[in-house]
Structure 1
């Protein structure tokens, strides 16, 4: 199931299903709103985007209520998350999957929103979108690449090769096709052992992380291996790893650790800089079929994801 593409003048809803918008982020919040308004979209705010409970965020039920209300409102054509955080998974038991299924629309976020993007696709079949959030993406000096990818993907519905945003490196060669699943490594693993963990069979897994050390990379990849994920997937795309490849470039990198942990497998691995924290982001349609060609260092979307 795919949502309708955005058109000039459409309403976009803003929600905070993970961390709330706090006073120190108000300037970036305003910048993000301005970015979208300059593209001629109308902004509708969720009821609980600034709310906190126990000093962390709105309650799980209130966050789920905001999500349901945005999907139910037929005038709203897309939902963009304000930012990531750590506890988006808390609202999963309270989501109304039927409301989402009956009102398909663009749902966009990054980082901890991984914990919503994948389950929404898993439970409803609705393709969701991994890409810039309001505050740290559109509100934090978005690049021309950010703006063009937003338009190319969510307005024009581009199919074909995803343009590179920097160097790409083939770690293990091969060409495969599969449905795209993944996102932030920490947030994805918070779903392991729950009913919300994705079905990775015949998928291409994309991963990014922030402030992660080599030893944690090794531990997390071994966890994925031990729960059988590497037996199911067809390939891996590693994004920009802020805090490891930028701050500690002399350390072994995430893709090198993945290559070692998966030495008995033959699935292709590609390292890119097209998505992640503190970088420009393409928009990746979760649940959509893509082709990964690591010899040519190409990622291609091969089916429609907006109508």
Structure 2
């Protein structure tokens, strides 16, 4: 990651937003839902631009790697498009890593937004280019949801436009270990971020605040993934850990996700907080990956505050 973050331009009503599928063929499997998500983005005042292969199907993917990378690059280089939103999730977005043109992305900095499996692309791009990316809502799961909380779209638009109020997140966190910490944010789906360990796209953990969440996994599988992070030395380098609200991750033998994390984090002295609404939850905050975030458990302070800019012209 560059020492000084590379900032995308703000995204405001009237702007064009590119839509790309980089993993599962979710738009092809449920076109009505995809169309509903596109309509929701339009109702927010944006002009969605759907990539050529976004609604295709090639087995369990939306297309071959070359086609999906070309879709992504075409939206990045189109200067009439202000942001790129990943349509949904899946389990194979790491197929695109070796094909990413990092110099091209660096030359055309713009907001890139995703969740779940594509969160590994967000962190890889931030790591290798310094570009602040955004862990936020997707077309299929959030904008298409008929009962989506209004606050999800409201924070999305506030964060991408650079509104200062978006930097202060008053989430109802619970603290296993208190203390203040400040560092660049690394945030994503735990099982997806794991795919970056030992690769050229692995984040720099030193002094970072790590936020992880996941969905539809057993506690044993999440234990295995988080233990892998610990054994790779990540816990020795980070300055703080925040967990999200796991979705459909029921307790195993009476052990909850929070209890498992507390057990693995025992013996470290950095702040540890739980319950951040982001990721797979219907209510989610949009989090700028690579921006500096401060953890502060004191009741007179916001528990999470971004202290550096996340878009051009934004002020924390």
Please give the TM-score of this superposition, normalised by the length of structure 2: 0.91
1:276 is displaced (CA, Å) by 2.4
Residue pair 2:186, 2:211 contacting (<8 A) in 1 also: yes
| CA deviations over 1:193-228 (Å, ceiling 9, x no partner) | 211111111100000011222222222221111100
Are positions 1:180 and 2:217 aligned together?
A: no
> 1:84-117: per-residue Cα shift (whole Å, max 9, x none)?
1100000111111111000100100000011100
The residue aligned with 1:163 is: 170
8 Å CA contact retained: 1:157, 1:304: no
Matched residues, number: 303
Q: Is this contact kept in 1: 2:24–2:60, CA < 8 A?
A: no
5 Å-filtered alignment, 1:220-239, equals 220-239=225-244
Change (3 A) 1:29 1:162: same
TM-score normalised to the size of structure 1? 0.94
CA drift of 1:295 comes to 4.5
For residues 250 and 279 of structure 1, what CA distance do their matches in structure 2 show? 27
- 1:148 has 2:154 as partner: yes
CA contact (8 A) 2:9 2:311 kept: yes
CA displacement at 1:161 relative to structure 2: 1.6
Q: State which of 279, 290, 294 in structure 2 corresponds to 1:291.
A: 294
Deviations 1:159-184 (A, max 9, x none): 542132xx421111110000000200
Structure 1, unpaired ranges of 5+: none
* Partner Cα distance (1:240, 1:27) in 2: 28
Counterparts of 2:60 and 2:144, CA distance in 1? 24
- Measure, in 2, the Cα distance between the counterparts of 1:259 and 1:83: 30
Instruction: Please tell me whether the aligned partners of residues 211 and 244 of structure 2 are also in contact (alpha carbons under 8 angstroms).
Output: yes
5+ residue gaps, structure 2 = 1-5
Q: Residues 264 and 249 (structure 1 numbering): CA distance in 2 closer, same or farther, change over 3 Å?
A: closer
Following superposition, which runs of at least 4 residues in structure 1 exceed 6 angstroms of deviation?
A: none
Distance 1:275-1:55 versus aligned 2 partners, 3 A rule:
closer
Native 8 Å contact 2:25 2:58 kept in 1: no
